[in-house]
């Protein structure tokens, strides 16, 4: 499903809403998710080894978005086989809830 199909599905679920209203609703939700993830990402320090995931959004029945840290590590360039250092970073994780798992 792509964005336009999702907008059509939202429009159908909203009943008499226009396609523009459905697209605005989707845009508002996605902007809110981005804002919450940015705030959670600021609370996770990459250098803190004992940091637990910062929960950005928890939607009961759907799932949880969280921000975790990834330690610096060494890797290998697959093209040249040369060793390289990979910097510490933050990553977004999604853990599906029971309701979403049950829908499968």
**pLDDT value of residue 42:** 79
| pLDDT bucket at 49, cuts 50 / 70 / 90 | low
- Together in a domain, 65 and 102: yes
Residue span of the structural domain in which 61 resides: 45-104
- Together in a domain, 39 and 51: no
- Together in a domain, 30 and 67: no
- Together in a domain, 54 and 100: yes
Tell me what percent of the residues of the chain surpass a pLDDT of 90. 58
pLDDT tens track for 65-101? 988 888 899 999 999 999 999 999 989 999 999 999 9
Mean pLDDT of the chain: 88
- Give the CATH number, domain containing residue 63: 4.10.520.10
pTM of the model: 0.73
Name every residue whose Cβ is closer than 8 Å to that of residue 2 and which is 6 or more positions away in sequence.
none
């Amino acid at each position: 499903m792509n964005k336009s199909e999702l907008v059509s599905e939202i429009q159908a679920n909203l009943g008499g809403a226009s396609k523009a209203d459905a697209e605005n609703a989707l845009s508002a939700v996605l902007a809110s998710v981005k804002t919450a993830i940015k705030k959670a990402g600021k609370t996770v320090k990459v250098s803190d080894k004992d940091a637990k995931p910062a929960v950005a959004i928890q939607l009961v029945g759907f799932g949880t978005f969280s921000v975790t840290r990834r330690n610096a590590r060494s890797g290998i360039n697959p093209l040249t086989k040369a060793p390289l250092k990979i910097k510490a970073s933050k990553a977004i994780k999604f853990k599906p809830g029971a309701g979403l798992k049950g829908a499968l």
